[in-house]
Chain A
Amino acid sequence: MAKITVADLSKIKDRVKKETSLTKDGYTVEVTAHLGTCGIASGGDKVYAALQEEIEKSGRKDIRIVISGCAGMCSSEPNVTIRRIGEDAVIYKDLNADKMREIFEGHILNGEIPKKYAMARIK
Chain B
Amino acid sequence: MSEEKAKTEENQEEQEKEEKKEKPIPYMEEVPFFKDQEYIVLSNKGIDPESIEDYIANDGYVGAAKAILEMTDVEIIEEMKKSGLRGRGGAGFPTGMKWDFARQSVSDKKYALCNADEGDPGAFMDRSVLEGDPHAVLEGMIIAAKAIGSNEGYIYCRAEYPLAIKRLNIAISAAKEYGLLGQNILGTDFSFELSIYKGAGAFVCGEETALMHSIEGKRGMPRPRPPFPAHQGLWKKPSVLNNVETYANVSRIIRKGGDWYAGYGTDDTKGTKVFALTGTVNNIGLVEVPMGTTLRTIIFDIGGGIPNKRKFKGVQLGGPSGGCVPAQFLDTPVDFANVAKVGAIMGSGGMIVMDERTCMVDMARFFMDFIQDESCGKCTPCREGTKRMLEILERITQGEGKHGDIELLEELSEIIKDGALCGLGQTGPNPVLSTISRFRDEYEAHIYDKQCPSKTCPALLEFEVDPIKCKKCGLCAKGCPVDAVSWKKKEVAFIDKEKCIKCMTCISNCKFDAIF
Contacts and interface: CB of A to CB of B under 8 A. Distances in A.
B88 to A, nearest CB: 17
Interface residues of A, number: 43
A120 B47 contact: no
Contact of B45 (A2, A71, A119): A71
A36 B28 CA distance: 20
Interface stretch (A47-55, A61-69, A96-104): A61-69
Contact of B27 (A16, A116, A121): A121
A37 B127 contact: yes
B21 A72 contact: no
Nearest to A118: B25
Contacts of B178: 1, 3-4
Interface residues of B, number: 48
A70 B128 contact: yes
A5 B187 contact: yes
A36 B128 contact: yes
B62 A68 contact: no
B65 A66 contact: no
A91 B285 CA distance: 16
B45 A120 contact: no
Interface in A1-50: 1-6, 9, 12-13, 15-17, 20, 32, 34, 36-38, 40
B34 A69 contact: no
A82 B57 CA distance: 20
B48 interface: yes
B342 interface: no
B46 A121 contact: no
Contacts of B59: 13
Interface in B458-484: none
Q: Which 7 A-B pairs give the minimum distances between C-beta atoms?
A: A69-B132, A3-B179, A16-B57, A75-B284, A73-B285, A74-B285, A69-B131
Interface of B: 21, 25-28, 30-31, 33-34, 37, 42, 45-50, 53-54, 56-57, 59, 61-62, 65, 69, 124, 127-128, 131-133, 161, 163-164, 177-180, 184, 186-187, 282-287
16 contacts: A4-B178, A6-B69, A20-B54, A32-B46, A34-B46, A37-B164, A38-B128, A67-B49, A69-B131, A72-B33, A73-B284, A75-B285, A81-B46, A115-B21, A120-B28, A121-B28
